[in-house]
Structure 1
Amino acid sequence: MKKILLPLLFGCSLTAPVSASNTQVDRLADQVEGDVIKWRRHFHQYPELSNREFETAKTIAKYLESLGLEVQTGIAKTGVVAVLDSGKPGPVVALRADIDALPVTESVDLPFASKVRTTHEGFDVGVMHACGHDTHIAMLMGAAKILTTMKDQLKGKVKFIFQPAEEGAPAGETGGAEVMVKEGVLKSPDVDVIFGLHISSDQDVGTVYYREGGIMAAVDPFKVVIKGKQSHGAYPWNSVDPIVTSAQVIMGLQTIVSREVELIDSAAVVTIGMIHGGNRSNIIPNEVEMVGTIRTLNPNIRQHIHKAVHNKVNSIAKSMNASAEVTLPLDYSYPITYNEPSLMRKMLPVLQATAGKDNAKVTGAVTGAEDFSFFQEEVPGLYLFVGGKNKNLPKSQAPDHHTPEFRIDESGMKLGVRLLSNLTLDYMHNPK
């Protein structure tokens, strides 16, 4: 994912939070780090695909139960949720980790490398935690240990959400955060705020990256079908050529972002990633099908692009005597991962106190997507990036997420554990 660096200004002065708990969190994080690494390696060695995280969920639930927490399983098929009740009045803080792996065959030479294979959409594939969800599970389990140990210092409740299928449910199924929300994961007790982290393979360990507003894009897949009139390829004048029409549609769609969208504050993307039409060199077909994706970081721009896609496609088709059908969204749709600005300002001192002021850095927006956004549509939430790259490794050599070469420096997880713990403690003592 390429990042677009955008400025971020806060119009208020910020002071570091005063909390005697920070020292205790640091001490407990040191103590639990070995377990966090052990847990991460276990989940990495035994990954499971979206909506198939059965053993992963059992391992998580067993540990949470050992902490004396109230645990629910089978939410959104394989999700696990646990509640820590302080016994004192206060807000409900939710912490979320995603738990699914990807159909990727690992190439990294690790003693705990995944050797798992399974069938995915009819193909024999390797399975790998190639996006760091194994670290997310381990960090949240570590935070659960710390917060349970510090129960007497809490006010309110903590809800630990281990979410399946962030990478997308298998064909014909539903899953992930959207289903968890529909099944009431943010209710009983009603969540006031939610925090989530993502490990980053190209940012140094010990750093945390934040942004107010849109930090990850909305994603809206779409399909366009251009219908024309078939003819012999030698006699194109007898046709209404959907291939030529589709070519003009593709070029027209690119002008939406380049000529209609004000990109000073927010990035946007319209991409056609697949096109099918015809079966012989000398036959002009009846129709062509195209499938693409829209990525936006601003709700108004998202709405404008949706309307513009319909307008461009239908107008160009009509000009070529063809017809068009637009399906938008196609099969799923993720909202913008949006860090509520006032909450971001409120919690920024916690990031600075936990990581060190120089290690809490503004990030550019990312045109990748995250279904954490479904939680943020319901309650205020923050989504942050935690560094997972060894400081001695040049950024240019850092492996990409979703690749067989993906790897992280496990020492970066301790900051994630501390952040989840400190964000919870600070918000509980300063909810307004």
Structure 2
Amino acid sequence: MIKKLYPLIFSLFSIGAFAQTPAMRAAVSKKADAMEKKVIAWRRDFHEHPELGNHEVRTADIVAKHLQSLGIEVKTGVAHTGVVGILKGGKPGPVVALRADMDGLPVTERVNIPFASKVKTMYNGNEVGVMAACGHDSHVAILMGVAEILASMKADLHGTVKFIFQPAEEGPPVGEDGGAELMVKEGVLENPKVDVIFGLHINSQTEVGKIGYRPGGTMAAVNDMQIIVKGRSAHGAYPWSSIDPIVVSAQIINNLQTIVSRNLDVTQNGAVVTIGAINGGNRSNIIPEKVEMLGTLRALSTADEKMLIERVKQIATKTAEANGATAEVKIPYSNHYPVTYNDPALTAKMLPTLQATAGTENVLLRPAATGAEDFSFFEQKVPGLFFFLGGMPKGGDPLKAPSHHTPDFYIDESGFTLGVKAMCNLTLEYMTSKTK
């Protein structure tokens, strides 16, 4: 029902949208243009020195010192390595949170740029390269720029800005807590209590100068899963003496594919059920006793997420039972992110701001993505808007542009200034709307 209301909600807000003073918007634009080189320099430094989740020590130190130099109250060590800055404006008003994630990935960079990462570290017992292969380096640099601009306008701010520099968005190390979930548990949205939160993500397959947004479910909930099928071992020459967990696992995998095709209303949302690893046995002529499968579930609504989990458990256990075996299912196995859900009313309210900043023709309604984001933990607690910033060179082909999480991931830095302007204007215009 709410989907049918989106056009009406957006129309009403667009007709009666609040307006930030042209002078203030012009001031933001001028300041952002003037500091473009500084933002790019920050990004290049972070890109050359990436750090994995919960280990962003150098990055956090640079961020904290920059915020302190602006006269912003700073708290460090939040959720291990997170940094939170509080800027109290000269006038009363709401508390607006702005978030940037800081961590890199265990990826060895192949991009031929002067500031390419050469960093290596240990990850899960192996030496790996480290790369800012999802653009988090640009998020940090952009929010540092936003902090500098808003700090320079402190006397005119109608409220408080909370800058959240978050570790471990890509997931904490095995056996550790981290990321947005831990920040929320530690009270990052309290003292002062946050009214609304904004975040952005650079996108290597969206052209520079463009912004993508979506109300409602914009990125998927994700659950990883483990399925252990237990049967009875036997000599490979005498399979009738076994309860073969490999055969049972094959049946389970095939049956799981019917969830999306037969249980999901595909006219409303998409979903993913993927088995990414299957391990069982160690010799050609021995039927093993058990098989382990690892996989991922992704859904764009809470109801669909619940349905996927229930159906996976039912299919796995009943298929195993039908074959005389047993199946143990753990969902989530090690991590879970909720749906990244953009509050529809807030999205409608702020859409004119994004359009005024980038140009109406450059602000695009995008389809939902089956990737996941732990920004969702913030949005579970307060209304939020998470949008996408173009980072692909103009005229590029989205189908050929290297995707995120790959060694060839590349971002055009000329799009950063738009990100700075958008985050500043969202903050200022939301504050203005609450003081009328």
> What's 1:161 paired with?
164
In structure 1, C-alpha distance between the alignment counterparts of 2:194 and 2:219, rounded to whole Å? 22
- Give the AA of the match of 1:18: A
Cα deviation for residue 9 of structure 1 reads: 4.8
In structure 1, C-alpha distance between the alignment counterparts of 2:160 and 2:148, rounded to whole Å? 14
2:392 is equivalent to residue 389 of structure 1: yes
In structure 1, C-alpha distance between the alignment counterparts of 2:110 and 2:141, rounded to whole Å? 22
> What's 2:410 paired with?
407
- Unaligned 5+ segments in structure 1 are 1-5
Aligned residues with identical type, % of pairs = 57
Q: 1:119 aligns to what SS in structure 2?
A: strand
Asked if structure 1 preserves the Cα contact closer than 8 Å seen for 2:6 and 2:344, the reply is: no
- Give the AA of the match of 1:263: V
> What's 2:146 paired with?
143
- Unaligned 5+ segments in structure 2 are none
Q: 1:292 aligns to what SS in structure 2?
A: strand
2:356 is equivalent to residue 359 of structure 1: no
Q: 1:224 aligns to what SS in structure 2?
A: strand
Question: Match for 2:319 among 316, 324, 348?
Answer: 316
Asked if structure 2 preserves the Cα contact closer than 8 Å seen for 1:8 and 1:211, the reply is: no
Cα deviation for residue 392 of structure 1 reads: 3.0
- Give the AA of the match of 2:212: Y
> What's 1:271 paired with?
274
- Give the AA of the match of 1:169: P
- Give the AA of the match of 1:170: P
Q: Deviations over 1:276-315 (max 9, x none)?
A: 1111111111111111110000111111111111111111
- Give the AA of the match of 1:406: F
> What's 1:44 paired with?
47
In structure 2, C-alpha distance between the alignment counterparts of 1:326 and 1:167, rounded to whole Å? 24
Cα deviation for residue 393 of structure 1 reads: 2.5
What is the TM-score of this pair, normalised by structure 2? 0.96
2:69 is equivalent to residue 72 of structure 1: no
> What's 1:3 paired with?
none
Question: Match for 1:346 among 333, 342, 349?
Answer: 349
Q: Deviations over 1:229-284 (max 9, x none)?
A: 11111111111111111111001111011111111121101101111111111111
- Give the AA of the match of 2:171: G
> What's 2:217 paired with?
214
Q: How many residues align?
A: 427
In structure 1, C-alpha distance between the alignment counterparts of 2:55 and 2:4, rounded to whole Å? 40
> What's 2:66 paired with?
63
Q: 2:399 aligns to what SS in structure 1?
A: helix
Q: 1:366 aligns to what SS in structure 2?
A: coil
- Give the AA of the match of 1:76: A
In structure 2, C-alpha distance between the alignment counterparts of 1:394 and 1:111, rounded to whole Å? 24
Question: Match for 1:239 among 237, 242, 245?
Answer: 242
> What's 1:19 paired with?
20
Matches within 5 A, 1:102-251: 102-251=105-254
Q: 2:74 aligns to what SS in structure 1?
A: strand
Cα deviation for residue 395 of structure 1 reads: 2.5
Q: Deviations over 1:185-238 (max 9, x none)?
A: 000000000000000011111110000011110000111111111111111111
Cα deviation for residue 8 of structure 1 reads: 9.8
Q: Deviations over 1:158-181 (max 9, x none)?
A: 000000001111111111100100
In structure 1, C-alpha distance between the alignment counterparts of 2:111 and 2:281, rounded to whole Å? 41
What is the TM-score of this pair, normalised by structure 1? 0.97
